[in-house]
Structure 1
Amino acid sequence: MNRSTSRDLYDRALDVLPGGVNSSVRATRPYPAFIERGDGAHVIDADGNRYIDYVMGYGPLLLGHDLPESVRAAVQSTLSEGPMYGAPTEIEVELAEFVARHVPSVEMCRFVNSGTEATVSAVRLARGYTGREKIVVMQGGYHGAQESTLVEGSPDDPRPSSPGVPQSFAEHTIPVPFNDTEAIEAIFEAHGDEIAGVLTEPLLGNTAGVLPVEGYHERLRELCDESGALLIFDEVMTGFRVGGLQCAQGKLGVTPDLTTFAKIVGGGFPAGAIGGPAEIVESFTPAGDVFQSGTFSGHPVAMAAGLETLRYAAENDVYDHVNRLGEKLRQGLTEITEDRAPGYTVLGTDSMFKLVFTRGDAAAPGPECGAGCRQDPDCDRFDRCPKTGADVEQSETERWERLFRPAMLDDGIFLTANQLESQFVSHAHTDEDVEETLEAYKAYFE
């Protein structure tokens, strides 16, 4: 497959953009495919190559690349009235009302411009509301490019995961393993009255979609209640994708104190939000004392796109479609790996999926769960399925990135840049797309 134009564009980009990209995850080997346009469930690159797209903008494009007429009309109408005003608009009220009506934990929202901005503001709000400083995060979780969560290591040795983050920030952050109840209980035993909040994704979307073991989030809820800390769900990725309009918290049956949103809440445009009970969210200025502000917050075009996307999803059986195709993909991948790569693991739920090149014996014990790992303790594979971010990071990431992803690209399948990022099904995908994708996976393992 010829990608010479993409190669030349990358050569130019290296002169004017650090690493040739504007987000580090886009720097795929040996060079990225530069996308010219989207078409339904497909993208077309600068050389005219067409791919079935499972990146979907890293999650925002629930409906695919072709916006339904109602969404397109709302965006165009809003834009025709002016790009933005620096003043409130009705559309931001309507989107906040929609979110509050459907998401169990939300009474109020504060809109921002990205997932990073949402988690930055949620951490500040938790600290301001509780009067405490420490934040607990999950090892391998990702909460945007912010100093309070760019932290790695252990509870006893937290350290910045990037140069430029002061060690003093890391000292207020406690990284713990996801799904490890004993570890989080020990942290609350030692620091309970210092913890402002526990920040976790409902599932580890940036480490391939590792699901929680049964009872884990419920135990987090109990520990936060007992200590006075806030439970913060980062639903930037899962919000309005996993669990439908109630989000992952509705599917799990666990109600957080704060929730962060982005991606789908903006309908493919830059937007994020922090939601929760009025008692907490009204701590933001000007109602309270915790400062939060932004020139582009509640941008009318992003609000219109988000609201109409969610309305369309609610009225057109979008979740039935994407979840069915997601299950079909995971089921097909499970069958392929059982026959050809039994040491590998299928992860994900609803319209998220990922095949992880987990290390292990070729003769894995027993069959996999039917449509991806469910963290079932009665499953013969339970002990070997990834439970934490570290489990995914220790898999064969080099093989996935250097061999597998380029081969799939040559077969017309556009996957996320590395083995850690989840992949997504949209309403524009079809059964034929899934079947073609499974054939490409099968051919790779033959």
Structure 2
Amino acid sequence: MNHERSRTLYDRALSVIPGGVNSSVRAIQPYPFFVQRGDGAHVIDADGNRYVDYVMGYGPLLLGHSLPEPVQAAIQSTASDGPMYGAPTEIEVDLAEFVTRNVPSVEMVRFVNSGTEATVSAIRLARGYTGREKIVVISSGYHGAQPSTLVEGDADDPTPSTPGIPESFTQHTLPVPFNDEERLRAVLSEHGDDVAAVITEPILGNTGIVAPTDDYHQTLRELCDGIGALLIFDEVITGFRVGGLQCAQGKLGVMPDITTFGKIVGGGFPVGAIGGRTEIIEQFTPSGDVFQSGTFSGHPVTMAAGLATLEFVAENDVYDHVNALGGQLRSGIRDILADRAPEYTVVGTDSMFKTVFTRADSPVQAGDCTDGCRQDRSCPRFSECPKSGADVRRGETDRWERLFWPAMKDQGVFLTPNQFESQFVSYAHTEADIEDTLEAYKAFFE
């Protein structure tokens, strides 16, 4: 493939944008290809190279790049009326009603501008509602670029995970590993009276897609109730992708107190949202005392895009289509790995998928988890499959990034550029795309 124009663009970008990119994950080695346009389930780069796209904007593009006519029309019509107003519009009420009608735990919702803004606001809300200061976070989970969650280590010795966060901030954050009920119980037992909330992704989506073990979230719900803390589900990734319109909480059968959204709820435009029980969400100003505001919150074009997307999804076979293709991908990759790299793990659910280059001393084939790891205790691989972000980080990260990703790119398959971020199937993908992708996997693992 020729990448001369992308190389030139990257050279220019390095002079005016730190690292040449506006989001760190885009800093692909030796340089990223620059996308010129999208086409259905594909992207075309600045040099005319075409790729089947499983990044899908890191999740927002459930429908793909070529939007159905009703969605396109809603966006164009709203944009033609004016960019924004600094006043309420009917469309934000319509979208709020759709969300509250479909997501089990959400009675009221406040729209913001990003997933990070949603989680920042949710944590402030939890602290304001409970009068407590400490937040329990899941190690290696990701809740946006905010001081309360950019913390590593453990509850006994939390430290900032990046320069720029004062050490004193971390005294209010208690990291615990995902799927570690014993450690969770110990931390909540020690700090329970001071804990405002536990925030977790229902499924870890930024560390290789790690599913919860049996009843993990039910236990988390019970423990939060026992100490009077709130349970926050970060559904920025899983919201309206896993579990259909009820989101991951509906699929898991667990009701959080607060849910954060992003990505799909804005139909591909910048968005975030905080939803939950009325008595909690009403604590936001102006109905309550917890300050929350934003110039672009409830932006009419974003609201129109989100509502039109979700209405199209509700009226068509979108979830049946994307989930079926996701299952075909996961089972197909699993069959390829069974003979050629049995130590690796296929993960994901619904329309999310990933291959984690896990290590194993004595690799064995998976049992019934043909459609991605389900944390099945009867599976021969149960003890070796990732249970936490730390397990994923112990995988062959360099091989994934330096060998696998470039090889797939050269075969026209665009994956997220490391083994941590999720990959996504869209409504625009076809069985032919899946077949081509599996052939690319076979070629790499020959």
TM-score, scaled to structure 2: 0.99
Q: How does 1:163-242 map to 2 (within 5 A)?
A: 163-242=163-242
Q: Which residue pairs with 2:347 in the alignment?
A: 347
Whole-angstrom distance in 2 between the partners of 1:417 and 1:306? 27
Offset, 1:365: 5.3
Tell me the residue number matched to 2:34.
34
Matched position secondary structure for 2:333: helix
Which structure 2 residues correspond to residues 13-412 of structure 1 after superposition, within 5 A?
13-361=13-361, 363-364=363-364, 367=367, 369-412=369-412
Tell me how far 1:307 sits from its aligned partner: 0.3
Q: Is the 8 A contact 1:413 1:437 kept in 2?
A: yes
CA positional deviation for 1:208: 1.2
Q: Secondary structure at the match of 1:261?
A: strand
> How far does residue 188 in structure 1 lie from its aligned partner after superposition?
1.0
Tell me, yes or no, if structure 1 residue 437 matches structure 2 residue 417. Answer: no
Cα distance in 2 between the residues matched to 1:244 and 1:205: 17
Displacement of 1:420:
0.4
Which residue in 2 is equivalent to 1:414?
414
Q: Distance in 2 between matches of 1:437 and 1:184?
A: 40
Query: Could you tell me how far apart the structure 1 residues matched to 2:118 and 2:358 are?
Result: 32
Could you tell me how far 1:366 is from its partner in structure 2? 5.1
- Aligned mates of 1:390, 1:36 — CA distance in 2: 36
Give the match's secondary structure for 1:297. Answer: coil
| Shift, 1:169, TM fit | 1.3
Which amino acid letter does the alignment assign opposite residue 384 of structure 2?
A: R
Q: Deviation at 1:361?
A: 3.5
Residue 360 of structure 1 and its aligned partner are, at CA, apart by 1.5
Q: Per the alignment, in what secondary structure is the counterpart of residue 37 of structure 1?
A: strand
Contact (CA 8 Å) 1:368, 1:381: kept in 2 or not?
Answer: no
Alpha-carbon shift at residue 363 of structure 1 (Å)? 3.8
Q: Is the 8 A contact 1:210 1:347 kept in 2?
A: yes
Structure-1 separation of matches of 2:378 and 2:30: 42
Q: For structure 1, list consecutive stretches of 5 or more residues without a partner in the other structure.
A: none
The Cα shift of 1:303 comes to 0.2
The 8 Å contact of residues 327 and 371 in structure 2, kept in 1 or not, is answered as yes
- Provide the C-alpha distance between the structure 2 equivalents of 1:101 and 1:393, rounded to a whole number of angstroms: 38
SS in structure 1 of the partner of residue 153 of structure 2: strand
- What is the DSSP-based 3-state SS (H/G/I as helix, E as strand, rest coil) of the residue aligned with 2:206? helix
Tell me which amino acid in the other structure corresponds to 1:445: F
Distance 2:415 2:350 in 1: 17
1-structure distance, mates of 2:367, 2:111: 45
**Separation of aligned partners in 1, 2:307 and 2:208:** 28
Helix, strand or coil for the counterpart of 1:240?
coil
8 Å Cα contact 1:341-1:362 kept in structure 2: no
* Deviation sequence 1:389-419 (CA, Å, 0-9, x none): 0000110011100010000000000000211
Q: Distance in 2 between matches of 1:203 and 1:363?
A: 24
Contact 1:334 1:368 in 2 (8 A): no
The residue type equivalent to 2:164 in the other structure is G
Q: Distance in 2 between matches of 1:387 and 1:6?
A: 38
Q: How many aligned positions are there?
A: 446
SS in 2 for 1:385: coil
Structure 2: runs of 5 or more not aligned? none
Q: Is the 8 A contact 2:258 2:276 kept in 1?
A: yes
Identity of aligned residues (%): 74
Residue pair 2:347, 2:353 contacting (<8 A) in 1 also: yes
Deviation at 1:359, TM superposition (A): 1.0
Q: Distance between the aligned counterparts of 1:44 and 1:362, measured in 2?
A: 42
CA distance in 2, matches of 1:396, 1:140: 17
- Post-superposition shift, 1:364? 2.2
* Superposition CA RMSD, Å: 0.8
Cα distance 1:332–1:365, how it changes in 2: closer, same or farther (>3 A)? closer
Task: Tell me how far apart the structure 2 counterparts of residues 109 and 63 of structure 1 sit (CA, whole Å).
Answer: 24
In the aligned structure 2, how far is the partner of 1:425 from the partner of 1:359? 26
Return the offset for 1:362: 6.1
- 8 Å CA contact retained: 2:338, 2:365: no
SS of structure 1 residue aligned to 2:265: helix
Q: Distance in 2 between matches of 1:221 and 1:130?
A: 16
Partner AA of 1:56 in structure 2: M
Q: Secondary structure at the match of 1:88?
A: coil
